[in-house]
Structure 1
């Protein structure tokens, strides 16, 4: 792997959830969708971000491409802090940072042919020659497993797998360096998932792409990722290289995730059942994010937020159970 391409430092994002009883114009209570999130993505690496629905994965991806603005923290792309840029300053970097959305079809104009959709992206980024635009579009369609035939089709004429390939093509057509893939295969059959994932892996190797792959599917994350971050309630609870994480999961939440998967090749141990609803995390929330549901919770877990520390080589965990290892 190369040097760090993207570095996330102490990223925080809140959303209002309800009004407090402070009158008609009272301030809204804020939910911490992403809280103190830090990780890096290296050149040519696939970083997997896994966690249950609503943990802040998609919000993180949207902040990296400028769709959402963080409340605080830094998004350093080759040393430049993207979180401080306005839309005009961010525009030149959109060629290098692209996103594949979960529901690609909803992002496409149903009245526009596929060739025209992809050519419009090139027009926006300054490719003025019509023949050059068409050649680039046909080339990227072939790279993702489509063909010149699809240049003249409409998005609704494609199958689910072909639509996701088109989503990848729309991200690739301007030759980015980093692609954020937000649940790109979650709605597909298993066989089609494998085809799309293999396409992404081949493209990454050929083009030296870096990927942030967001998913709640542990099997998919394991297949495609070099390193994995496990996310819960807006924060990372564990991070390690893929083989190390599946061989030696340390955080109780990671163990619970693995225990829920019917896969004989995942290292599992008997995890006591955890009950209760996932809490809403606000600024008044104290302690470990997982402490309200953790079967191993101690008194310190409700009082002090655990530090995200390296417990073994390249393996970081935020859990008071391992404080004695320091």
Structure 2
């Protein structure tokens, strides 16, 4: 078994609730965007993080690459706690931990040609020779399915699929070991999605990359992931290897995700409908994260947060239906 490249333990991120007035003797109430989140990513593995919009997936990815600071908890990469590093200390690790954004076009300067975008990244990370920068940039473009023909074009001159390939190239050009992919195919046609996913799989195998793939689409997650973490309201409710999760989903929320997929090869038996939206989770929130929408809710579900228990080998779930501790 591969050792862990990244370990996340008890991660939490809070944001002040907008629109709420300050009290005279207190602070604004805080929303728990991520709460007590723990998982690991093994070397050479693709870990899929799935859940509906607003559950904290993107916030988790942004904390890993240092764009957001955790409120508490640890993000350990190769023995170093990234959450404790300042910008200067984090900079050398940016070469090893990169991110592909959901809307790549907005993350690229419209005034820069592709040659300038890629070579500037290399220049910032210490590649001083112009010929070496050009060779590396062209090489990485070819790896993601683009060519030297695109080298002097602007990002807006590319198609949606080509822009996402450029986003992947921007992450790969400095040869990272871990890439956070934040909904990289959600805005693309199905055929283009397949091309981008196949490109990521080939690169992951050829370069022995580790990927954290974030998506709300359970079908996409199934296609690319070795293991899957199901996230709801800022925390994991289930985690298992991909085949195991699809054969034997345990948590009611996971079953609900499968029910909502139109693919008959993914859809499981229909469970009772859970309507409504995710509530706002604050420090005053008690019980199971899913208790306000779960069709199987019991009194004990609202009293205590369920433990994240290993039910079988590498299959964990946080649900009072499987909680042996009373």
TM-score bucket of the superposed structures, by smaller chain: over 0.9
Decide whether the 8 Å contact of 1:291 with 1:301 is kept in 2: yes
Write the deviation string for residues 258-292 of structure 1: whole angstroms up to 9, x where unpaired: 00111221251220011233210000000000001
Decide whether the 8 Å contact of 1:247 with 1:267 is kept in 2: no
In structure 2, the residue matched to 1:81 is 81
Write the deviation string for residues 165-207 of structure 1: whole angstroms up to 9, x where unpaired: 0000000000000000000000000000000000000000000
> How many angstroms does 1:61 deviate by?
0.1
Decide whether the 8 Å contact of 1:247 with 1:266 is kept in 2: no
Write the deviation string for residues 42-86 of structure 1: whole angstroms up to 9, x where unpaired: 000000000000000000000000000000000000111000000
Runs (5+) with no aligned partner, structure 2? none
1:202 aligns with 2:205: no
> How many angstroms does 1:3 deviate by?
0.8
1:22 aligns with 2:20: no
Decide whether the 8 Å contact of 2:3 with 2:43 is kept in 1: yes
Name the CA distance, whole Å, in 2 between partners of 1:241 and 1:324. Answer: 22
In structure 2, the residue matched to 1:131 is 131
1:306 aligns with 2:273: no
Write the deviation string for residues 6-37 of structure 1: whole angstroms up to 9, x where unpaired: 000000000001435613x8511100000000
In structure 2, the residue matched to 1:150 is 150
In structure 2, the residue matched to 1:214 is 214
1:42 aligns with 2:51: no
Decide whether the 8 Å contact of 1:20 with 1:29 is kept in 2: no
Decide whether the 8 Å contact of 1:20 with 1:26 is kept in 2: no
> How many angstroms does 1:111 deviate by?
1.3
> How many angstroms does 1:325 deviate by?
9.3
Which secondary structure state, in structure 1, belongs to the residue aligned with residue 202 of structure 2? helix
In structure 2, the residue matched to 1:292 is 292
Name the CA distance, whole Å, in 1 between partners of 2:191 and 2:277. Answer: 34
TM-score by length of 1: 0.98
- Spell out the pairing of 1:1-326 with structure 2 (5 A cutoff): 2-18=2-18, 19-20=20-21, 22-23=23-24, 26-266=26-266, 268-324=268-324
* Distance 1:274-1:323 versus aligned 2 partners, 3 A rule: same
- Number of residues of Structure 1 aligned to a counterpart in Structure 2: 325
Which secondary structure state, in structure 2, belongs to the residue aligned with residue 323 of structure 1? coil
Decide whether the 8 Å contact of 1:246 with 1:267 is kept in 2: no
Which secondary structure state, in structure 1, belongs to the residue aligned with residue 122 of structure 2? helix
Name the CA distance, whole Å, in 2 between partners of 1:296 and 1:109. Answer: 49
Runs (5+) with no aligned partner, structure 1? none
Name the CA distance, whole Å, in 2 between partners of 1:290 and 1:136. Answer: 48
TM-score by length of 2: 0.98
Which secondary structure state, in structure 2, belongs to the residue aligned with residue 28 of structure 1? coil
- 107-116 or 228-237, larger mean C-alpha shift: 107-116
Name the CA distance, whole Å, in 1 between partners of 2:224 and 2:22. Answer: 48
- RMSD over aligned Cα atoms: 1.3
Decide whether the 8 Å contact of 1:58 with 1:182 is kept in 2: yes
- 286-295 or 26-35, larger mean C-alpha shift: 26-35
